[in-house]
């Protein structure tokens, strides 16, 4: 991978459930402190790092990538010391049993495991039942009294997973959306824009695009671009290629639509033109469902032209997600090229 793998690993292995993005926020501020003109955090925890435009500073572009990862919140501590959970974001409970987790308690992190009964003792009906997050429990390997002293209702829980290179891919937890946050940080270090660019690391995307909606009002940009992952169903379970959405290794995905937004045609066509001119590998994305920060900016404070670049991702919203190194590089290249060629004179009105 052309870019800084150590930074990507740090971002993905760090923990930051919705509303609790502190550790990621510290990394973002550290990485951007020396490359922007101003950096600030708002009351929700969004980080906004601003580069003043060299030629047309009054024209403002917002670039957003979210910091939070899907996780859980503790709802109950049983007398026996097991934790019950509520989901923060969209989980498939089938992939959660027997997985290691980290409980973020006030006195420090505690390792645990999501319990799974052995199949030997399960009835046929129990083996075929569909899990819900409410059915799961976390075992901390401690007695009830000790757990009650360590863990409180409201503590958050994230997956315990390391990041590894697997062939041409990078795998690990929270690739959604840390791989795009990484791309935004790397692009910010490359550009000298003519227009003012606000690099926004947003919060609480996984529970309703909440940070981006707030920033849409606070920033009121002339153009908004979002970075997020998208579905890559190019795996054996999907023999119908029409359901792949995107494919790993085919480049950055230029979003045309998802379940929350239809991007501005003039914006995504300019992205395609830049990609073709710069010979940056790219593909088009039509995602039937799901939402991104793109929608958070589109009409929160009046009508705004919006676009989005996506990193194709296998196994999205599972414990181990996978992105292709070439697609990550292409996303950094495309974002930097789009920002470097934005002069504020492009007409995005329809």
- Non-local (6+) Cβ contacts of 85 within 8 A are 72, 73, 74, 75, 133, 134, 136, 137, 138, 157
The per-residue pLDDT for 1 is 58
Helix (H) or strand (E) holding 105: strand 100-105
Query: Hey, what are 151's tokens?
Result: 């863990």
Q: Are 193 and 221 in contact (CB under 8 A)?
A: no
The per-residue pLDDT for 120 is 64
Mean pLDDT, residues 168-189 taken together: 97
Mean pLDDT, residues 122-128 taken together: 65
- % pLDDT > 90, the chain: 87
Query: Hey, what are 120's tokens?
Result: 């030997």
Whether omega for the bond prior to residue 177 falls within 30 degrees of 0, making it cis, is: yes
Query: Hey, what are 221's tokens?
Result: 């940009």
The per-residue pLDDT for 126 is 62
Q: Return the bridge partners of 227, or none.
A: 65, 309
Report whether pLDDT(2) > 80.
no
- Non-local (6+) Cβ contacts of 279 within 8 A are none
The per-residue pLDDT for 238 is 87
Q: Which of 130, 72, 134, 100 is nearest to 320 (CA)?
A: 100
Give dist(CA 88, CA 73) in Å, integer: 7
The per-residue pLDDT for 243 is 85
Query: Hey, what are 116's tokens?
Result: 């799974």
Q: Is 80 exposed, middle or buried (0-12, 13-18, 19+ CB in 10 A)?
A: exposed
Mean pLDDT, residues 56-72 taken together: 97
- % pLDDT > 70, the chain: 96
Active site residues: 205
Q: pLDDT tens-digit profile of 260-304?
A: 999 999 999 999 999 999 999 999 999 999 899 999 999 999 999
The per-residue pLDDT for 7 is 96
Give dist(CA 290, CA 121) in Å, integer: 38
The per-residue pLDDT for 27 is 98
Q: pLDDT tens-digit profile of 10-41?
A: 999 999 999 999 999 999 999 999 999 999 99
Report whether pLDDT(234) > 70.
yes
Query: What is the torsional sign of CA 24, 27, 198, 3?
Result: negative
The per-residue pLDDT for 119 is 67
Helices (H), the chain: 5-13, 22-32, 124-128, 144-150, 175-188, 210-219, 265-277, 293-298, 325-340
The per-residue pLDDT for 286 is 97
Question: Is the pLDDT higher at 126 or at 103?
Answer: 103
Question: Is the pLDDT higher at 117 or at 319?
Answer: 319
Q: pLDDT tens-digit profile of 195-214?
A: 999 999 999 999 999 999 99
Question: Is the pLDDT higher at 92 or at 35?
Answer: 35
Per-chain mean pLDDT for the chain:
94
Mean pLDDT, residues 103-128 taken together: 81
Report whether pLDDT(131) > 90.
no
The per-residue pLDDT for 127 is 63
């Amino acid at each position: 991978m052309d870019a800084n793998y150590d930074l990507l690993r740090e971002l993905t292995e760090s923990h930051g459930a919705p509303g609790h993005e502190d550790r990621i926020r510290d990394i973002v501020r550290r990485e951007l402190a020396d490359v922007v003109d101003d950096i600030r955090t708002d009351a929700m925890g969004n980080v906004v790092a601003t580069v003043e435009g060299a030629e047309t500073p009054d024209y403002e572009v917002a670039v957003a990538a979210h910091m939070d990862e899907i996780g859980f919140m503790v709802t109950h501590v049983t007398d026996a010391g097991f934790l019950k959970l509520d989901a923060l974001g969209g989980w498939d409970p089938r992939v959660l049993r027997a997985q290691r987790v980290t409980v973020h308690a006030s006195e420090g992190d505690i390792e645990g495991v999501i319990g799974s009964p052995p199949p030997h003792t399960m009835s046929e009906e129990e083996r075929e039942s569909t899990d819900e997050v409410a059915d799961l429990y976390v075992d901390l390997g401690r007695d009830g009294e000790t757990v009650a002293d360590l863990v409180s209702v409201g503590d958050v829980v994230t997956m315990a997973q390391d990041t590894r290179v697997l062939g041409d891919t990078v795998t690990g937890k929270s690739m959604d959306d840390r791989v795009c946050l990484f791309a935004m940080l790397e692009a910010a270090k490359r550009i000298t824009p003519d227009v003012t660019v606000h690099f926004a690391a947003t919060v609480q995307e996984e529970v309703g695009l909440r940070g981006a909606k707030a920033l849409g009002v606070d920033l009121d940009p002339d153009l908004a671009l979002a970075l997020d992952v998208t579905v890559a169903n190019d795996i054996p379970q999907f023999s119908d290629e029409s359901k792949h959405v995107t494919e790993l290794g085919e480049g950055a995905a230029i979003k045309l639509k998802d379940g929350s937004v239809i991007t501005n045609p003039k914006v995504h066509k300019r992205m395609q033109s830049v990609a073709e001119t710069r010979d940056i590998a790219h593909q088009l994305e039509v995602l039937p469902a799901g939402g991104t920060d793109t929608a958070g900016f589109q009409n929160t404070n009046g009508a705004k032209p919006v676009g989005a670049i996506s990193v194709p991702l296998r196994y999205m919203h599972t414990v181990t997600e996978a992105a292709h190194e070439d697609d990550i590089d292409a996303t950094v290249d495309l974002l930097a090229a789009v920002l470097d060629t934005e002069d504020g004179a492009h007409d995005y009105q329809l």
